[in-house]
Structure 1
């Protein structure tokens, strides 16, 4: 499969994420500290889950080239043989540099945004659909320069003495992963194009919901949604008024 059209769709997804108000606020230096912190918490939840997503993908991926790419990605995530350099531990060290207590991260109450993003990722990982999985991985990894550059800008605005190579290292590693994933795209049959494009759309959707949560979109209603009107209760059926209306 020729990757040129796929690259165009990925670029369109990146452009949409660049226009998310959280990203534009971060780049403009106007993102409040609370939103910056919540963004880091959401990214941490994703970082903690990512190795397991890769393992789920490896459990069924049949293509040898794709398996090699995923194994290299997982190797990087786990510290390239040194557990002390696992990506999630780097993330926790960033929290330490920001003087954010680990307990605050652990107790963060997840909203619908990160829950949806993680559920989407795990379901794709178990889907046994190579096109969707590669498309999702491709846009997810390609997002790193967009989101991490903005996060670095926002955090250094609040913590001007912050000195960390966390963001730049992850951008460099993910640039390598993206190049490898485009090789996997070339190996896919043309019949997988629709699934590949759908996977790219899902990757964008997952990132946008994560950013939505950090931006506060899901803050107004945290309790489970319940509807008590009897006409909407499937156990009681439609109301007498609704039956009359029909």
Structure 2
């Protein structure tokens, strides 16, 4: 069975995320306040879209075990029947604690990191590939305690009185989600291994580029680049 190899791939992905400059700086207590706040904006875009992604996966998944895991995850996101405990509502309370106006969050200009990360997630949700979906969800959930714990450390350094319910909830429940997803991995047929591994790679890729945006990698370009523009033609001016 390929489960042990999948665990190694996931752990390798987590190590790469831990070594990302943004996460490493947060863990070391050296991440600037502005970068920590922008990280919150990036995480919020992901948090806002996550219930939609889970619903899309549920719309086509016919494996009972996978459906149960996804439904439990969605229930957690929505507060298990109590809207006051919906994860995104806790996110909005986090913004309040940071003194960030909702308008500032709503008008944040998304750059390439968020755009690509969400595009990857949406396309996985539409892929109708069980292996790919489980792989993506597995690494995505496994990375949350790593990234959110680092974000919590960075923010509380700059805001010592900050309530961190948003991070605390995810760190607490995502370990349970990961354990359940490994049960789903064990039930997958061998011919799903390639798609499973590809899903893990997509999840890691999406997280890294989201972190790149928070770290300022895409600050030089705000508008989407179109390579059909004449300026990208290597023969331009030579005719």
Q: CA deviation at 1:225?
A: 2.7
Partner of 2:57: 57
Q: What does residue range 1-246 of structure 1 map to in structure 2 within 5 Å?
A: 1-226=1-226, 227-229=229-231
Q: Partners of 2:208 and 2:24 in 1: how far apart?
A: 13
Q: Deviations over 1:95-128 (max 9, x none)?
A: 1111111111011000010110001000000000
Q: Partners of 2:122 and 2:232 in 1: how far apart?
A: 35
Q: Partners of 1:96 and 1:239 in 2: how far apart?
A: 51
Would the alpha carbon gap of residues 228 and 177 (structure 1) be closer, same or farther in structure 2, given more than 3 Å must change? same
3-state SS in 1 of match to 2:79: coil
Give unpaired runs (5+ residues) of structure 2: none
User: What is the TM-score normalised by the length of structure 1?
Assistant: 0.92
Q: Partners of 1:160 and 1:70 in 2: how far apart?
A: 35
Q: CA deviation at 1:166?
A: 2.7
Q: CA deviation at 1:84?
A: 1.6
Q: Partners of 1:182 and 1:203 in 2: how far apart?
A: 16
Would the alpha carbon gap of residues 20 and 240 (structure 1) be closer, same or farther in structure 2, given more than 3 Å must change? closer
Q: CA deviation at 1:4?
A: 1.2
Q: CA deviation at 1:223?
A: 2.9
Would the alpha carbon gap of residues 103 and 131 (structure 1) be closer, same or farther in structure 2, given more than 3 Å must change? same
Q: Partners of 2:62 and 2:175 in 1: how far apart?
A: 24
Q: Deviations over 1:127-175 (max 9, x none)?
A: 0011110000000000011101100110011111223333222111101
User: What is the TM-score normalised by the length of structure 2?
Assistant: 0.95
Flag the structure with larger Rg: 1
Partner of 1:235: none
Q: Partners of 1:96 and 1:57 in 2: how far apart?
A: 32
Task: Spell out structure 1 runs of 4+ moving beyond 6 A.
Answer: none
Q: Deviations over 1:31-56 (max 9, x none)?
A: 11111111000100000000000000
Q: Partners of 1:14 and 1:149 in 2: how far apart?
A: 13
Q: CA deviation at 1:86?
A: 0.7
Would the alpha carbon gap of residues 63 and 98 (structure 1) be closer, same or farther in structure 2, given more than 3 Å must change? same
Q: Partners of 1:22 and 1:96 in 2: how far apart?
A: 23
Aligned length: 237
Q: Partners of 1:204 and 1:239 in 2: how far apart?
A: 37
